[in-house]
Structure 1
Amino acid sequence: MGWRAAAVRRRHTPKRNPMLKKAPTDNRVFDALGVLLFGQRSRVQNARTTFADEIQYVFSLSKEQLCGFLKQAEMQRVLRRMLHVLKNNLPNTGDEVAGETLDQFILEERGRVKTALAYLHEIAGIFEKSGHPIVVMKTLDHWPDTGSDVDLLVTADDAEVCQIFEKDLGARKQPKSWGDRLAHKFNFRVPGLAELVEVHVDCLGQTGEQKALARGILDRSVLQSYDSFTFPVPLPEDRIVIATLQRMYRHYYIRLTDIVNIYDLLSDNRVDFDRLKAIADVGSVWPGVATLLTIVCQHAVRFGGDSIYLPDCVTIAARFGATRTYLDQKFVRVPLVPEAANLFWGQLIGIGRKHHFRAMMRLSLLPLLATAAFVSFRVTGNDKGVW
């Protein structure tokens, strides 16, 4: 196809806050990104003033520093949104170097996203024509940004998944880690597509324990347009639950894009809290969902976002808030002990009470998997073969 040849290669190129325990120099860029994404739309005058200060800070950077700032935005999955903010707030004096740098990033991102959407549309179309339900999850939650990989949830046999990718798309199946096998997922490298394609087959969760939740997400999916393409995507409530599984029960860190994405869903009144709780209860992850919502809203307010009312069902179920998180290696981290551990044990007990013994047995393997990943990382500096 014509667009295959045009595939764009990926580039290789304030005050201390009690919520963030690292030194101010370590969270300076993270804070600036947050303020720039939230401050401009705030109704609070102080937030708009802080926004103006951060604009001045960004445009005082050298070209090399500005590129580094934008790379951090890319790491947080907010690059296109940040480029839009900066482009609309270029100094009146006309900073040619900054303007040219922004234009270069905008052009490259536009090409990359256009290519990714075209491939994604082809992949989804093949599965749909083959009679296999498919949902594009996480990847498009960041829109107009996209994720670093393409995440799909499908219902199909393993052999059918591999045939579609290897025979129809000429993709190469990537080696599986122990975690991949437990989670029942594949990774494929598609020629011409910069992003890795991650395929979750019939289940979600780090150990593949969430089968009922996955079926519900597929059944409830809706069609949504992105540029000139239309894709099946999860409902807002399902998006929040999926984000919770990833952030509160697997990685234990939160990107800036998670804060922006979930806050926008809440501020736009797109979330039905009764439905959200019902969905989360299927997987026994309601405490994690409530905790993530609380953390998101508190960090958003810190960045200048307007306060959002959370119903009692959320505030009562939340296990902790943003003051228990910390910034480390450019992400908002959730402490493993006791915060993340308590969420895990709560999920395990909840699944056991429902007599979901398959899910319980698989989930009970997570501490062993995490320990193996930790040892592997300490010995080799890499946990990819495990986690």
Structure 2
Amino acid sequence: MDQEDRAIRLLRLLLDRTCLPGSDGEDVWRDLHALAARNGLLLRFAAQLQRENALPAHALPTVHTEQRRAEATFRLVGRVAEACVKHGVDGVFISAVQHHPDVGLDIDLLILDRSPAAGAVIASSAGLQPVGRGVGARLAVTATYESPDDAVPLDIHHGRLGAAGEHSGFPVTLLARRQRAVVEGQALFVPSDDDQLVLQGMLRVYGRRSIRLADAFHTIAAVRRCQYDWSYVVEQARETGTLPGLDCYLDYLEQLHRKIYGVRLLDATTRAALGRGGWGRIELTGGVMRFPVGRVSAHLYLRQFGTQVRRGEWSAAGRSCLIPVVGATSSARRIARRLGTAAGRETWPGRAE
């Protein structure tokens, strides 16, 4: 089974609860386990196998380790949410719970207060320690904090979004339309489903080199449930100047969906409203969705920059010019986090080789 086959099999297993490895042997289990772990899907994968009484007993230790990490992370989310209430800071967790029961490489909290002191107070109240900021974090007006337990780091975004902090209007919309959620007993605010999809188009291709299967799974599952107000999504993406990014992101998911099922993900009307598509072919290699980053990134940057210039958004346009540099530093940071959090989860437990 090659890399593409493994990715397709994992996603179909999770989307449809079908295509279980069956009698294919331990090699298949090991490959899918490692792929799920790398992409932040391990607990969902394990839960599916447990429902089918198909999870090997010797896989339990790594699953339990990941469960402890997830539990620590959701406890941290609860502490941060309580700190926001305590100090009167309005916030929304833009990436914390959408992949539940799994967790990602970090937690992202958006607050409108641009003062670093506001984030520092929240972090201190939640028992977190600051981490040194690089160039990208300073441009994006983002601060990172770490917990002494197994929880993932917390990134606090101060009134801006985007690789270089080029989006300052959409954060206001996110806060105004946020929704209350309760996850693992923790009460918090999250984006509406529609705003979460706009965020995916804004954050998953600009300055990126690949798309994790967890993001693909989440969006495909949501589209198949028909939970989006597409008129709002398209208009909001156009307003933020990131409609090309959303078009690109969903074009890649269309390709992935055809690989899995042989049919389109979006209806013709929605597809036409998003744009022309044609962003190049995806490849399922290295455990992620890869795309022609050079050509795509250049086109996205130019489209976004042109929109900002036409609107006279000079500060945003200046920040957009710096996205390639920020993307390079952010990639290094994500790789470091992945090595630190996933090294112990991607090894298939069992007999010594």
TM-score class normalised by the smaller sequence: 0.7 to 0.9
Post-superposition shift, 1:350? 1.2
Aligned length: 335
Post-superposition shift, 1:262? 0.6
Match of 2:133 among 155, 171, 176: 176
Q: Which deviates further from its counterpart, 133-142 or 290-299?
A: 290-299
Decide which structure has the larger Cα Rg and report it: 1
Match of 1:341 among 288, 295, 298: 298
Assess if the C-alpha contact under 8 Å between 2:91 and 2:189 holds in 1. Answer: yes
Distance 1:106 1:369 in 2: 34
Match of 2:171 among 187, 200, 214: 214
Is the aligned partner of 1:287 residue 2:244?
A: yes
Match of 1:61 among 6, 12, 26: 26
One-letter amino acid of the structure 1 residue matched with residue 36 of structure 2? A
Is the aligned partner of 1:78 residue 2:45?
A: no
Distance 1:281 1:322 in 2: 18
Q: Which deviates further from its counterpart, 204-213 or 146-155?
A: 146-155
Distance 2:157 2:163 in 1: 11
Is the aligned partner of 1:254 residue 2:211?
A: yes
Assess if the C-alpha contact under 8 Å between 1:136 and 1:233 holds in 2. Answer: yes
Post-superposition shift, 1:310? 2.9
Q: Which deviates further from its counterpart, 30-39 or 281-290?
A: 30-39
Distance 2:22 2:298 in 1: 39
Assess if the C-alpha contact under 8 Å between 1:149 and 1:197 holds in 2. Answer: yes
Long gaps (5+) in structure 1: 1-13, 15-23, 41-47, 92-97
Moved over 6 A (4+): none
1:34 corresponds to? 11
Assess if the C-alpha contact under 8 Å between 1:298 and 1:321 holds in 2. Answer: no
Assess if the C-alpha contact under 8 Å between 2:68 and 2:150 holds in 1. Answer: no
Q: 1:312 to 1:341 in 2, by over 3 A?
A: farther
TM-score, scaled relative to structure 2: 0.85
Distance 1:373 1:107 in 2: 32
Distance 2:121 2:182 in 1: 28
Post-superposition shift, 1:307? 4.4
Across the aligned residues of Structure 1 and Structure 2, the Cα RMSD in angstroms comes to 2.8
Q: Which deviates further from its counterpart, 111-120 or 171-180?
A: 111-120
Is the aligned partner of 1:271 residue 2:248?
A: no
Higher RCO (CA 8 Å, separation ≥ 6 residues): 2
Match of 1:227 among 164, 174, 184: 184
Distance 1:55 1:359 in 2: 52
1:158 corresponds to? 116
Percent identity between matched residues is 21
Distance 2:126 2:273 in 1: 48
Q: 1:61 to 1:346 in 2, by over 3 A?
A: same
Distance 2:58 2:260 in 1: 26
Is the aligned partner of 1:110 residue 2:67?
A: yes
Distance 1:273 1:126 in 2: 35
Assess if the C-alpha contact under 8 Å between 1:39 and 1:303 holds in 2. Answer: no
Q: 1:305 to 1:38 in 2, by over 3 A?
A: farther
Is the aligned partner of 1:88 residue 2:45?
A: no
Long gaps (5+) in structure 2: 338-353
Assess if the C-alpha contact under 8 Å between 2:164 and 2:326 holds in 1. Answer: no
Assess if the C-alpha contact under 8 Å between 1:38 and 1:304 holds in 2. Answer: no
